[in-house]
């Protein structure tokens, strides 16, 4: 897998100072607690006052790569403390970076949370966790995290995925592949545009897996949006064996193409990776977790972009397996 040059947007030192000063002031106003109920209500007005330099750095993804890295934010390795052993034990660790990620996400769109994931937090902690090594979730480590669309099972999934790196001593790579770089023939595109198979909820949504409502809705794997091809893809949770042979073959060719164009992005502390969730599937290479407080630690937020027209109208009628997403400022 190539480590091709990922588009990088370098934050000006003045923008870095502005972001950190603004985030600290907001955090201090709420007793240093990033999850304080009142903090979120102040984020929109605070983000609206950020400078044009920050807004320009957060402009929409503007290349077929479907991603970019914001670079220049510092991370105090000692101040953030040890990498938590599980998201539920993270508490307020790395709180300043939670607020920075919220501000950046708000400049890009509207942050969203899931009632059924990480207790409804708007910023998640992504850390390897004992006993979860082989899971296809952010808590896994020893197996390849298969390339996928974030929350692909749900019609309310994010338009953008934002990953902030706090620690990555082993240079564990995030993988990314854009459908706009893949080459498929017209027959495969037509086959994959048919709503044949569902995408089931992943292991991070235990309640959704027991959903006893309507049957799982069949959905298209890819389609044409006004800007070009778009996809909704999660092979680990797609019952491909239930599809006709010609559909399975087209799906496998799509997998192969995404693998061919996949790149590896090894984030360093302070990097913020922004992924267009409609164009790019992402994953993670396997690694050996140490569980000694020094493991890879990312912060994650999900963002909806108001007015974006990249989703089929039929998605409005999906039940979402009973899972509810919450927009931060709705």
User: Does the pLDDT of residue 208 top 80, yes or no?
Assistant: no
pLDDT digits (tens, 9 = 90+) for 91-135: 999 999 999 999 999 999 999 999 888 989 999 999 999 999 999
Res 1: pLDDT: 54
pLDDT digits (tens, 9 = 90+) for 169-191: 999 999 999 999 999 999 999 99
Res 4: pLDDT: 54
Span 278-302, average pLDDT: 97
pLDDT digits (tens, 9 = 90+) for 212-254: 677 899 999 999 998 899 999 999 999 999 999 999 999 999 9
pLDDT digits (tens, 9 = 90+) for 32-55: 999 998 999 999 999 999 999 999
What does the mean pLDDT of the chain come to? 94
Beta strand extents in the chain (DSSP E only): 8-10, 67-71, 110-114, 124-126, 145-148, 160-167, 173-178, 222-225, 228-231, 263-266, 272-276, 280-284, 297-304, 325-327
Q: Residue-wise over 6-22: b if at least 16 C-beta within 10 A, else e?
A: beeeebeeebbebbbeb
pLDDT digits (tens, 9 = 90+) for 18-31: 999 999 999 999 99
CA distance 26 to 96: 9
Domains of the chain: 8-305 (3.60.130.10)
177-to-51, 110, 283 alpha-carbon distances in Å:
32, 24, 9
Residue pointed to by tokens 């496998």? 252
Span 291-296, average pLDDT: 97
Res 95: pLDDT: 97
Cite the DSSP H helix spans in 197-244.
Answer: 206-209
Closest to 136 (Cα-Cα) out of 32, 234, 258, 281: 234
204 contacts 137 by C-beta, under 8 angstroms: yes
User: Does the pLDDT of residue 294 top 90, yes or no?
Assistant: yes
Q: Is 273 buried (19+), middle (13-18) or exposed (0-12) by CB count in 10 A?
A: buried
């Amino acid at each position: 897998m190539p480590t091709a040059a990922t588009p990088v947007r370098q934050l000006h030192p003045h923008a870095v100072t502005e972001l950190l000063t603004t985030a600290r002031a907001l955090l201090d106003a709420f007793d240093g607690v990033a999850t304080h109920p009142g903090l979120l209500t102040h984020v929109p007005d605070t983000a609206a006052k950020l400078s044009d330099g920050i807004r320009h750095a957060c402009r929409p993804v503007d290349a077929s790569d479907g991603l970019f890295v914001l670079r220049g934010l510092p991370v105090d390795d000692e101040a953030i403390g040890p990498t938590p052993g599980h998201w539920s034990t993270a508490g307020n660790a790395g709180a300043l970076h939670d607020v920075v990620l919220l501000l950046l996400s708000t400049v890009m769109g509207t942050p969203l949370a899931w009632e059924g994931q990480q207790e409804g937090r708007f910023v998640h902690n992504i850390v390897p966790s004992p006993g979860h090594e082989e899971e296809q979730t952010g808590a896994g480590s020893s197996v390849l995290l298969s390339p996928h669309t974030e929350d692909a099972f749900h019609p309310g999934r994010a338009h953008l995925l934002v990953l902030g790196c706090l620690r990555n001593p082993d240079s564990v790579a995030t993988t990314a592949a854009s459908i706009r770089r893949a080459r498929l023939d017209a027959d495969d595109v037509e086959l994959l545009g048919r709503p044949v198979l569902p995408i089931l909820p992943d292991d991070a949504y235990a309640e959704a897996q027991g959903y006893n409502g309507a049957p799982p809705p069949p959905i298209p794997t890819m389609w044409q949006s006004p800007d070009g091809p778009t996809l909704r893809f999660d092979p680990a949770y797609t019952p491909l064996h239930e599809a006709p042979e010609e559909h399975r073959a087209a799906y496998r060719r799509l997998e192969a193409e995404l693998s061919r164009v996949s790149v590896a992005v090894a984030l360093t502390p302070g990097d913020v990776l922004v992924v267009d969730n409609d164009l790019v599937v992402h994953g993670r290479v396997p690694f050996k977790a140490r569980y000694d407080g020094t493991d890879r630690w990312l912060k994650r937020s999900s963002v909806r972009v108001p007015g974006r027209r990249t989703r089929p109208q039929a998605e409005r009628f999906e039940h979402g397996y009973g899972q509810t997403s919450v927009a931060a400022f709705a």
